[in-house]
Amino acid sequence: MTATTISKTIFLNAPRTHVWAFLTEKDKLARWFHPAKEDLKEGADYTLLDQHSDMERICWGKVLEMKPHERLVYTFTVKPLNGAMTTVRWMLEDAAGGTRLTLVHEGIEQAAGEAAFMMLSALDAGWDEHFGRFRVQVLEAVPAE
C-alpha cells in the first residue's frame, strides 16, 4: 500500500449478507452512494448517476471481482479523472457479531497526475461522507431479530 492509497474501515451491527446488498444492489446503492443503472455484476460495466444533476453519469467502471459477502473489486473513475481508472476494493469480515467493512481505493496518483493531491483530498472527503450515510442506511434497514 502506498501513501496515496485511501483506506477506511467501519464496523456495522449487521450481517455481511445485509452489508453486501448495500454494496451491490442498485436500489440500496442509491440510498448511500449514487443511483446505479442496474445491480453490480461481475465482469460487467456499471454506471452511477448524479441525482442532483439530471441523472448524469458521475462514476463508472467495471466490476472485476465479486465474492459474495466477502470481497468486491471494481475499476472506478469520475469526471475529473477524464476516464483514467482507479481501483476500489471492498472487504467484508465477521467482527464480534457484526461486520467489519474495509475500503481500499488505489491508483489515484497515477490517474490524476499533477492534480493527485487535490483528487486524493476530494475522494477522501467523499468516502467519509458516503461512509456516514452507509452506516445510517445499513443500520436503519437491519431486519429485527
One DSSP character per residue, 16-74 reads: HHHHHHHHH-HHHHHHHS--BSS---TT-EEEEEETTTTTEEEEEEEEEEEETTTEEEE
Number of compact structural domains in the chain: 1
pTM here? 0.92
pLDDT in tens, 21-60: 999 999 999 999 999 989 999 999 999 998 776 778 889 9
Tell me the mean pLDDT in the region 86-112: 94
Query: For residue 134, what is the domain's CATH number?
Result: 3.30.530.20
Let me know if residue 145 belongs to a domain: no
- What pLDDT score was predicted for residue 58? 86
In a domain, 114, yes or no: yes
Q: How far, CA to CA in Å, does 111 sit from each of 48, 61, 91, 132, 140?
A: 19, 13, 23, 26, 36
Q: Which residues span the domain enclosing 58? A: 6-140
Q: Tell me whether residue 1 is in a domain.
A: no
Interval 100-125: pLDDT, tens: 999 999 999 888 888 889 999 999 99
Band of residue 144 on the pLDDT scale cut at 50, 70, 90: low
What per-residue confidence (pLDDT) applies to 106?
A: 95
Q: What is the mean pLDDT of the chain?
A: 92
User: How far is Cα 64 from Cα 26, in angstroms, rounded to an integer?
Assistant: 17
Q: Is the pLDDT of residue 130 over 90?
A: yes
